[in-house]
Amino acid sequence: MSGMRTVRGTRDLLPEDSRRLRLVEERAWEAARRCGYGEFSTPIFEFTDVFSRTLGDTSDVVTKEMYTFEDRGGDSLTLRPENTAGIVRAFLSNKLAQQLPLRVFYRGPMFRYERPQKGRLRQFHQVGVELLGVADPLADVEVIALAADVLASLRLGSEPVLEINTLGDGASRTAYRERLVGYLEQRRDRLSVDSLARLERNPLRVLDSKDEADREVVADAPALADSLTDEARRFFDAVLNGLAGAGISWRVNPRLVRGLDYYCHTTFEFVSDALGAQGTVLAGGRYDGLVEQMGGAPTPGVGWAAGVERLMMLAGEDAAAPRPIAMIALGEAQGGAALGLARQLRAAGHVVELAFGSSLGKQLKWANKANARLAVIVGSNELERSVAAVRDLDAGEQEEVPLALLGERLARSA
């Protein structure tokens, strides 16, 4: 029965998976919070034109990957494939222009209908940041530095490499577009059907193509760097100098582009080969035209997003669950008192699991299966004397501890 298994490209997050996901999200949030970012939480679905207007009707996301449906009221809705557009929509809907500059952090599930592969799912999770209202290149440096701090906090097995490029300003891209179109027009017969469509409507998207034949064509295409205006070159130099001053290394990748019109200046990715072929673990860039494209006043913006599942696969092994304390009651009548004691210890910050079983032996067996580090044992005799037996399940040693000192004793073994 199809209903008894997960939909292709989705997965259940069992406790260990959830712990690792929360580790990534919380590390990212903590780094962003320390930089003055506040958290936005937008709906997981929006009106379809929030994405179709911003991502472009020739992008792969819009033409092939969006989960779009019509609701009972006849509105076209789409599960969010990314969240920058949703954040900007929220910025406009909530009339937050007076709060600029605005630093935003987000996290949550996204949805794309694409071929599932290692670290990529149809329902996946992202963390990301957006900095709205700052045109200074130092803003680009800030968000890149924040990304580097997030990745460092996860203690990834292989340190990702920052690749960076510039898309220049509008005049730079206009000049480059003419050169690129001239180059591609001479090679139309070698382009894919999708790239032929992109050539007519947004030729920079040809550079984003994943088609191998297209990749061979664009390998020798003109470089955008040769079309930069003096102002655009100064902006990029300022970003690189800022990164150097912040102690962040990089390599320029002239093929790193974003095909959408609202992107400009800085574009960047952190890439890693720890999962096999080199892959992107975090990507971002400057998008000064997006707010205006969505109906707002011209507002600069820069940000990034990272796939949580890929980061989970790369993160260090410190996401293991804390070893609990097992609370064992000797006799049915002592169950309520044991639970009350467990609640006191939990309020003090301990992880305490109530053991189940009809005998001490069965409860200790359960405690070992739960990987408990200690067992707190209470029976009628112990409760009459206001003590508990504390057993170290690793060493096999046991001692009696007054209930009034129990929290202090457990803290020493934390």
Q: For residues 297 and 362, state if they share a domain.
A: no
- Chain segment 40-74, per-residue pLDDT in tens: 999 999 999 998 877 765 455 555 688 999 999 99
What is the span of the domain harbouring residue 359? 325-412
**This prediction's pTM:** 0.85
Predicted confidence band of residue 333 (pLDDT cuts 50, 70, 90): confident
Provide the domain count of the chain: 2
- Residue 242, domain member (yes or no): yes
Q: For residues 310 and 329, state if they share a domain.
A: no
Please report the pLDDT score of residue 320 as a whole number.
60
Please report the pLDDT score of residue 54 as a whole number.
73
Task: Indicate the range of 17-31, 41-55, 195-209, 316-330 predicted with least confidence.
Answer: 316-330
Please report the pLDDT score of residue 3 as a whole number.
63
- Chain segment 296-327, per-residue pLDDT in tens: 999 999 999 999 998 988 876 655 667 899 99
- Residue 204, domain member (yes or no): no
- Chain segment 213-222, per-residue pLDDT in tens: 888 988 889 9
Q: What is the CATH number of the domain that holds 267?
A: 3.30.930.10
In DSSP notation, 337-375 reads: HHHHHHHHHHHTT--EEE---SSHHHHHHHHHHTT-SEE
Q: For residues 334 and 309, state if they share a domain.
A: no
Residues 43-60 as b/e (b if ≥16 CB within 10 A, e otherwise) read eebbebebbbebbbeebb
Does the structure show a pLDDT above 90 at 407? no
Question: What is the C-alpha separation between 242 and 239, in angstroms, rounded?
Answer: 5
Please report the pLDDT score of residue 202 as a whole number.
80
Query: Average pLDDT of 110-124?
Result: 79
Does the structure show a pLDDT above 70 at 396? yes
Please report the pLDDT score of residue 413 as a whole number.
75
CA-wise closest residue to 166 among 36, 81, 258: 258
Question: What is the C-alpha separation between 280 and 268, in angstroms, rounded?
Answer: 10
State the alpha helices, DSSP H only, in 191-303. 193-201, 212-218, 230-245, 290-293
Please report the pLDDT score of residue 255 as a whole number.
81
- Residue 205, domain member (yes or no): no
Query: Average pLDDT of 203-211?
Result: 82
Q: For residues 285 and 350, state if they share a domain.
A: no
Does the structure show a pLDDT above 80 at 258? no
CA-wise closest residue to 302 among 256, 244, 239, 241: 239
Please report the pLDDT score of residue 2 as a whole number.
59
Please report the pLDDT score of residue 392 as a whole number.
92
Please report the pLDDT score of residue 117 as a whole number.
63
Of 314, 339, 359, the residue that ends a domain is 314
Please report the pLDDT score of residue 318 as a whole number.
59
Please report the pLDDT score of residue 317 as a whole number.
60
Q: For residues 345 and 291, state if they share a domain.
A: no
- Residue 215, domain member (yes or no): no
Q: For residues 264 and 374, state if they share a domain.
A: no
Q: For residues 157 and 255, state if they share a domain.
A: yes
Q: For residues 94 and 236, state if they share a domain.
A: yes
How is residue 291 written in tokens? 């707010």
**Mean pLDDT score of the chain:** 89
- What is the spatial order of strands in the sheet that 352-354 belongs to? 352-354, 325-330, 374-379, 387-392, 397-402
- Chain segment 172-186, per-residue pLDDT in tens: 988 998 999 999 999
Q: For residues 233 and 354, state if they share a domain.
A: no
Please report the pLDDT score of residue 114 as a whole number.
73
Does the structure show a pLDDT above 80 at 91? yes
Predicted confidence band of residue 414 (pLDDT cuts 50, 70, 90): low
Does the structure show a pLDDT above 90 at 157? no
Query: Average pLDDT of 347-357?
Result: 90
Question: What is the C-alpha separation between 176 and 151, in angstroms, rounded?
Answer: 34
State the alpha helices, DSSP H only, in 95-185. 137-153, 170-185
**Which residues does 405 contact at the CB level (< 8 Å), separation at least 6?**
none
Question: What is the C-alpha separation between 166 and 267, in angstroms, rounded?
Answer: 6
Please report the pLDDT score of residue 411 as a whole number.
85
